Amino acid sequence: MAKGNGRAISAFLSCVTGLGVSGLCVNAVAAQPGATLEEVVVTARRRAESLQSTPVSVTAFTANELAARQISNISQIAEATPNLVFDSSAPISGSKSAASIFIRGIGQTDFALVTDPGVGLYLDGVYIARSVGGVLELADVEQVEVLRGPQGTLFGKNTIGGAINVISRKPGAELGGSVELKLGTDQRRDFKASVDLPLSDTLAVRLAYANLNQDGYVENLGGGPDLGDTDAQLGSLIVDFHPTENFSMIFAADATYRREQAMAQKILDFNPEAGAPTFAPFNGVIAPFLGVQPYDARYLVGGKFATSQGRNELARSDLDVYGVSLTLNYDFEAFSLKSITAQRGFDSQFGRDSDNSPFVIVETFDDMEHDQFSQEFQFSGVALDERLDWLLGAYYFQEDGDNLNLVRTAVLDIQSGGAIDSDSWALFAHSSYDLSDRLRLNVGARYTEETKRFTPDQQVLFNEFTQPLFGGAGFTDGQRILPFQEYSQDFDDFSVTAGLDYHWTDRLMTYISYSEGFKSGGFNQRVFPPREVPGSFDPEQVQVYELGAKWSNSADTIRLESAIFYTDYDDIQVKIIDVVAPGTGNAAAGEVYGGELELGLLLTPALELQFGLGYLDTQYTDFDNDFDPAQGIDEGDSFVNSPEWSLSGSLAYTASVGDLGELTLRGDWSYRDKVYNDAANTEAIAQQALHLFNAGVTYTTAAETWQLALQVRNLSDRSYLITGNNEFNGFGYVEGVYARPREWSLSVKRMF
């Protein structure tokens, strides 16, 4: 390391140990000439503006940073985002593509069509309504933005916890592209390619394709395929047409095809006396009848990365996704009009073998189809001598889907699920008014109406043992669990946001804001034993108070973004056990105190440090009178997926190798405090505090036509739970999903 670099690091460490950003600290970093931190432009408020001037708590990742951090699918951004937890599998799904996203303690663990996510996921401005299909591969993206807090007065669907915006790469003005091949652990074989085709001065096309393959990492001791593999193909097309200065059109289409084994589910414990039709009747009746050993602790052995389920055709994760959108922009003399029209859909089959054995004791399988249509109009402009920025919007959303959920048990089978048909419309408005050259007022409002319809298609189905060994178990074959009819609920909400931001200097901005959020209620599709009506749950609401600051030094070598907040959270939707069936219920009111801090430092032109910190204090404060205490949720318990501390850091050093190009050495670290994977704070499925480390070295030729990267994820080979599910007092099992252990990759990329 050069002496100048060493002096800069020593000066910086002196500043840190001095517990303050003094003038000396600023000068020590700013003294390095010639280089600045990369400017980040975000569209969080539906216009392009510098991250440093946006009065919202936002984390943004450019395409280069995603690649450097080894982030290949969107769930991995949680490693470097304060107060974000993004599980790549919902606890009881078995799907590898069922997103479970939490921001500041607000989210949703259930993947069913009858429940809405707590965090909105957007692809090029289009809301992705359902959990399944939400674990996006970031094969050809320009930027990812994470917005914390309620959203909805500026765009799209109302979201209560926050929003994640994924922005695809747009066609370039010149012919070019790239091809990349990546090899790695467990026979990893990834191929990616993209090309820009400028067809004229006003028309350009971008095509991208990816083929991703990797063997599973959970060994199947029963002779079947290993679990947790990757087998995916992705393609996208973007057409950019701008025939005049006033008009532009972007057409986008994407498709994903996945044929994989189930998520790497592992049984952690079981209840041999479970009163449900699982372990007790198998051991007491079926095992003696078959002349086999009863189910016992031998199915818990083999370590965290082994299963004994054997060949099970239900334990798979298949997914077909498509999406098309048309975005029109027209600039009139007095205002601009944007129209976003989109259609998306998916077809998915996925399941899991919860008992991890070759016997049918408790297994689930979902056959799910979903289609959605959305139309959004945005009218925006400036007025009052450009002191007022205003936006008016209208949003319509319609979806229909079907989810037949088969639950196989030792005694009988249960066909759960049914069809949904929902629609929503909203009007929203937002404005920013310059009260002075430095002080700006931001206000917004949204009115939403939603209708949720659910038609259950649920029956008791006899298996080979139901009648001969259990005499029908008190049921008839084909007996309806719920009446086969449509149920409907209507919801409406009016929410507002208001705030002030003050620019003390060109480099320092502070803001204060108040915002409200709403998430509608719904039905519970999992019901057993039979009853006359399905269970339902009420909407959630939050009120969030936030104070933030953003600062950078004059040399653009230090940037700091920070926020503290308080959330008043009502009618919290949590997972409950309804007799034996998992569903959703309104637990209580709650509070969240917390904050975020993100720091970027360019210590020298060659050495960059990034640091992030998140803090959460979550607790239930008041339970509904009719809430069942047997659910195990108590006042003072932590919210699900809400670690108290989340920290991350990275250090990247780029060295010139003369005419050969440059070499970048990088290390990434993330820390998550203890995470509870259910609302009842079950210790058996909690993930203890965890440090993770990634490292890599990247070589880029001087002409920037070739790039070679050797990278390692989970360098210390830590074993940790992604998610978990506790059914010990219901169906009688406890299960979890462990992340892939340490892995390496070697990639070669050709740019042209």
Residues 383-392 have pLDDT tens digits of 999 999 999 9
Lowest mean pLDDT of 300-304, 383-387, 554-558, 685-689, name the range. 300-304
Q: What mean pLDDT do residues 27-34 have?
A: 43
Lowest mean pLDDT of 25-34, 331-340, 360-369, 555-564, name the range. 25-34
Q: What is the pLDDT of residue 207?
A: 98
Q: What is the pLDDT of residue 240?
A: 97
Q: Residue 88: CB partners within 8 Å, gap ≥ 6? A: 73, 75, 96, 97, 98, 99, 135, 263, 722
Running DSSP on this structure, what letter comes out for residue 89?
A: S
- Find out if CATH 2.40.170.20 is the number for domain 32-751: yes
Q: How confident is the model at residue 118 (pLDDT cuts 50, 70, 90)?
A: very high
CB hemisphere CA count around 482 (13 angstroms): 24
Query: Residue 653: is its pLDDT beyond 80?
Result: yes
DSSP calls for 93-124: T--SSB-EEEETTEE----STTS--SEEEEET
Query: Residue 17: is its pLDDT beyond 80?
Result: no
Alpha-helical (H) ranges within 263-324 are 279-281, 287-290
Compute the radius of gyration of the chain from its Cα atoms.
26
pTM: 0.92
CB 276 within 8 A of CB 580: yes
Between vectors from CA 45 to CA 39 and to CA 50, what angle results, nearest 5°? 15
- pLDDT tens, residue by residue, 674-689: 999 998 899 999 999 9
Tokens of 640: 């699900």
Domain boundaries, the chain: 32-751
CA proximity to 42, closest of 142, 187, 183, 178: 142
- pLDDT tens, residue by residue, 143-167: 999 999 999 898 889 889 999 999 9
- The helix/strand/coil state of 131 is coil
Hey, which residues does 89 pair with through a beta bridge? none
CA proximity to 692, closest of 651, 648, 722, 652: 648
Strands 306-307, 219-220: parallel, antiparallel or unpaired by DSSP? Answer: parallel
- pLDDT tens, residue by residue, 689-724: 999 999 999 999 999 999 999 999 999 999 999 999
Q: What is the pLDDT of residue 53?
A: 81
Q: What is the pLDDT of residue 188?
A: 97
Q: How confident is the model at residue 627 (pLDDT cuts 50, 70, 90)?
A: confident
Q: How much of the chain, in percent, has pLDDT values that exceed 90?
A: 82
Q: What is the pLDDT of residue 20?
A: 37
- Distance, in Å, from the CA atom of 704 to the CA atom of 178, rounded to the nearest integer, reads 11
Query: Residue 29: is its pLDDT beyond 70?
Result: no
Q: How confident is the model at residue 195 (pLDDT cuts 50, 70, 90)?
A: very high
- pLDDT tens, residue by residue, 724-743: 999 898 889 999 999 999 99
Between vectors from CA 186 to CA 705 and to CA 140, what angle results, nearest 5°? 40
Q: How confident is the model at residue 16 (pLDDT cuts 50, 70, 90)?
A: very low
Q: Residue 284: CB partners within 8 Å, gap ≥ 6? A: none
Query: Residue 339: is its pLDDT beyond 50?
Result: yes
CB 309 within 8 A of CB 315: yes
Residue 537 CB coordination number (10 Å): 22
- pLDDT tens, residue by residue, 197-248: 999 999 999 999 999 999 999 999 988 899 999 999 999 999 999 999 999 9
Q: What is the pLDDT of residue 22?
A: 34
